[in-house]
A and B are shown apart, each in its own frame.
Chain A
Amino acid sequence: MTQLTHLTIEDALTGLKNKDFTAKELTEAHINAVEAHRDLNAFIVETPELALKQAEESDKRYASGNARPLDGIPFTNKDLFCTEGVQTTAASKILDGFIPQYESTVSASLFADGAVMLGKANLDQFAMGSANTTSAYGNVVSPWRASDGKDLVPGGSSGGSAAAVAARMAMGATATDTGGSIRQPASFCGIAGIKPTYGRCSRWGVVSFASSLDTPGPLARTVKDNALLLQSMSGFDPKDSTSANKDVPDFAAAMTGNIKGLKIGIPKEFKLDGMPEEIEKLWDQGIAWLKEAGAEIVDISLPHTKYALPTYYIIAPAEASSNLARYDGVKYGHRSEGAKNLNDMYAKTRAEGFGDEVKRRIMVGAYVLSAGYYDAYYIKAQKVRRLILQDFEKAYETCDAILTPTAPSGAFAIGENEDDPIKMYLNDVFTVTANLAGVPAMSVPAGLDANGLPLGLQILGKAWDEETVFKVGGIIEEAAQFSAMPQAILKKAA
């Protein structure tokens, strides 16, 4: 039998239907993989007992012919999704020991479709980071290794989710993307991930970071597997005021393999000064693949691209400072001992509970929202955000989708880019515009850099048109034939 942990979700579903193996066997194989790769620190909480119980229920449904769309598929849940009865921390000490009394809409949908939860994946604290080095539960280590043997970052903030999927611990994962937190780790870890249109997946029960940007989405090893997961995660939710009351199309069916005549935009502003040559080469390669498949390549302009990151670093901290005001040591989570009075308790609780990067962003947010600075920073950023959205609207008059690199480099070593917050922020230079404009964007593994580390290409689509993103993503995947395996897997297999 082929190794169960190496199957795609698509093939595993076929195998389960054909009774080649049981959901219990599939789950046990993944639980073993989770245990074997504990050195990567991809999980904050493992839930093997729950997983086995869910797998047994899946097996019963397979036996009675009532299998659900994702029955028996083991996944990991980013520890930002509230899970009823299972600790949820956002990788912060301030939520240490928090046991939600409710289930997030997205994870409830996955459970309703029969998916099996292996545990809660590590992440950057409150999803703030691009290297998974801000978690109160320690760094996640990428299953990939540099040739010099240094431990690499998996990217962030969904670093535990991405590492788990890449290391074949889980077949898929939930993740969230506020400025690139699905796509950049997907690129670094050699897997695929999609940030759908804002409003496609409910944010209810997801720990909030920046509410107008936060977007739940999946990570998996193939484009089709992403389609299967997103299908389950999507849909209208009255409990989220920004959830869209729209029909969810059949994402997998959109992967027809036919992009003849499709217009693919290439934004000239994404050609950055000092961009590594290999990134540019990969991008050219992607353009060539799409041309070969019959797409028409058109030059487009997204003139405000260079202002996207500074805009994001006003809006996201502003929303975060407001959202994170709820952590006060009263209702749940950490409370400082020995405070003299209520105000002292608030300030000490928050000082002890939040990590440095979270504090930095809350303070930036408090500053840009404060009297006298509100217009100059916050309103200004909201105006530039509209210009960025208009850039996309104008570009989509002449193209159907856009192709860019996902990240400006491959994975870097743990500890790099930590000396200056802005250096770390620049990781999201290609991804953040999609969040500001709310449009869907996917990263697909497309090649390796000079160090043998994965690089992704990003496909952006029109709002609500994930179908075209999946269609183009499928073409890139087919052309790239990305088959490289993380060294952690090869080592264990040897």
Chain B
Amino acid sequence: MSMDKDTVRKVARLANIEVTDEQIEAIGPQLSGILEWVEQLAEVDTDNVEPLANVVNIDLRLRKDEVTDGNCADKILANAPEETQGFFVVPKVVE
């Protein structure tokens, strides 16, 4: 399908990526081209075919519900753009 500008804007919002009006002009046709190309799957008969999410044919393993690591707040925060007193800092959320 061909993607109009509002749809591109909506997808960019879903993806949480800021786009300018100029970028929307450029991205729209590219996304449309990719989608039109993948739509050839419509011609494949997939009645009674189960979707395949992963080739690994195993049940997810369970382990004992016990603490196996922790006490590493310094490592978790080591790459934070901004942190204070053991917390990540983000722009103000509540006015």
Contact = CB atoms under 8 A, between A and B. Distances in A.
Nearest to A310: B38
Interface residues of A, number: 68
Contact of B15 (A98, A198, A334, A362): A362
B37 A370 contact: no
Contacts of B82: 335
A25 to B, nearest CB: 36
A337 to B, nearest CB: 10
Nearest to B3: A367
Most chain A C-beta atoms within 10 Å of own C-beta, residue among B15, B79, B82, B91? B15
A172 B93 CA distance: 48
B65 interface: no
A296 B72 CA distance: 58
A291 interface: no
> Which secondary structure dominates chain B's binding surface?
loop
Interface in B34-51: 34-35, 37-42, 44, 46, 49-51
A380 B63 contact: no
B17 interface: yes
Interface string B47-59: 0011111111010
A241 interface: yes
A438 interface: yes
A386 B15 contact: no
Contact of A198 (B55, B60, B81, B93): B55
B67 interface: no
Interface string B1-45: 001000110011011111100000001001101110111111010
Interface stretch (A26-34, A66-74, A177-185, A338-346): A338-346
Interface stretch (A128-136, A155-163, A226-234, A348-356): A348-356
Nearest to A341: B91
Contacts of A359: 15, 17, 27
Contacts of B78: 99, 101
A293 interface: no
Nearest to B81: A335
B11 A363 contact: yes
A383 interface: yes
Given A332-B79, A332-B80, A421 B30 contact: yes
A436 B51 CA distance: 12
Contact of A387 (B34, B49, B79): B49
Contacts of B76: 101, 331
A258 B55 CA distance: 30
Contacts of B8: 363
A174 interface: no
B34 to A, nearest CB: 6
A23 interface: no
B52 A347 contact: no
Contacts of B90: 330, 342, 345
Given A363-B11, A380-B42, 19 more contacts: A310-B38, A310-B41, A311-B38, A313-B34, A335-B81, A340-B91, A342-B90, A350-B17, A360-B31, A364-B34, A366-B11, A367-B3, A367-B11, A370-B14, A381-B41, A382-B53, A383-B52, A386-B50, A436-B55
19 contacts: A212-B55, A310-B39, A325-B16, A329-B81, A331-B88, A340-B91, A345-B90, A350-B16, A360-B27, A362-B15, A363-B31, A364-B35, A366-B14, A377-B38, A380-B42, A382-B51, A383-B44, A386-B51, A438-B55
Interface of A: 97-99, 101-102, 198-199, 212, 238, 241-242, 244, 304, 307, 310-311, 313-314, 321, 325, 328-335, 339-348, 350-351, 354, 359-360, 362-367, 370, 377, 379-387, 389, 420-422, 436-438, 463
9 interchain residue pairs of minimum CB distance: A438-B55, A382-B51, A332-B79, A386-B52, A335-B81, A383-B46, A351-B18, A101-B75, A347-B18
